[in-house]
Amino acid sequence: MEPTHRFVRTNGISLHIAEQGAGYPVIFCHGFPHGWFVWHRQLAALAAAGYHAIAPDLRGYGRTEAPAGVEATTNQAVIGDLLGLLDEIGAERAVFVGLDFGAQMVWELALRAPDRVAAVFVLNNPYAPRPPKPPSAFWTRAAERHFLHLAYFQEQGPADAELAARPREFLARVYYSLSGDYHYLDTWKNPPGLGYLDVLPQAPELPWKWLTEAEFDALASEFERTGFTGGLNWYRALDRNWELTEGLPTTVEVPTYFLYGENDPDMEGFSGRDPLTTLRANVTDLREVEKVPGAGHLVQLEATDSVNAFLLTHLSALHTRAQA
């Protein structure tokens, strides 16, 4: 069985969703540069186990509308889309799964609307409280010393054009660079003033042990059609996200399950702090932390069996505990 597709009108936009199965809703939130399809192996596994697995193209991606401007691509805006999706499917609450920007958005959702969140499952991007300064205050100085994609993506135009001109090459190189087979932070050894393709490593020919040619084609074809501006605008909204989180709770209190790839760059602790220590100190109902040896950022593709087992085991325990 394959996922079915439909559009939901929510929060002023048309949201494309892929869904599979019936039962308790589990909503998957992707990052950059991804789309709903990055979760297709998880949709199949959860549907077979009796869950309603849903993977949207988040706003700015794929077949979902891409409103222009920073204000339209904040976490707050995307959370509005997802709350509308919950209303559309008639669910008071759901489990949310997030990776990359999707993880950041799921963490914030747990702060903004905990009553709509049964639990969060986060892959690779650990929670940290709101910093005392906006994100750009930290990356601007670093970008004076070396290439940093966070800074490069801020100006609308250069990155949009560079990546849209060579979408398949970019995707192959960035997926490979973030995998467990490469050390992504080596891209930071390059001087400032370069483009992203100047610093990313060459990718080996497909297929890879964790990604087939057909799967890559499904991901790449969407960006060949849309370009990357919708996703890049999420980077341009990072400071605005910081402004909009003033006054929110600083600790996550919903049931939380965290899984990470051993070689994921987000686990290296850029500030000198251990990200797992920070996670444990600020998530009050952290029920499980699991490391996947050898895996990198796209852990749900690199280690599908481990991720699916993690989800299914703890979803079952979560529901058993809720019914007790």
Concatenating the DSSP letter of every residue in 30-74 gives --TT--GGGGHHHHHHHHHTTEEEEEE--TTSTTS----SSGGGS
Beta bridge partners of 215: none
Closest of 25, 62, 17, 91 to residue 83, by C-alpha:
91
Of the residues 57, 100, 181, 264, which is catalytic?
Answer: 100
Q: Please count the other Cβ atoms lying within 10 Å of the Cβ belonging to residue 212.
A: 13
Instruction: Please state at what angle helix 213-226 crosses helix 167-177, rounded to 10 degrees.
Output: 130
Tokens read off for 9: 């009108």
Q: How far apart are CA 37 and CA 18, in angstroms?
A: 8
Decide if 146 contacts 185 (C-beta within 8 A): no
- Is there a catalytic annotation at residue 181? no
Of the residues 52, 149, 297, 314, which is catalytic?
Answer: 297
- Is there a catalytic annotation at residue 100? yes
Q: Please count the other Cβ atoms lying within 10 Å of the Cβ belonging to residue 184.
A: 21
Burial label, 42 (beta-carbon count in 10 A; 0-12, 13-18, 19+): buried
3-class DSSP string for 110-162: HHHCHHHEEEEEEECCCCCCCCCCCHHHHHHHHHHHCCCHHHHCCCCCHHHHH
Decide if 226 contacts 61 (C-beta within 8 A): yes
Catalytic residues: 100, 297
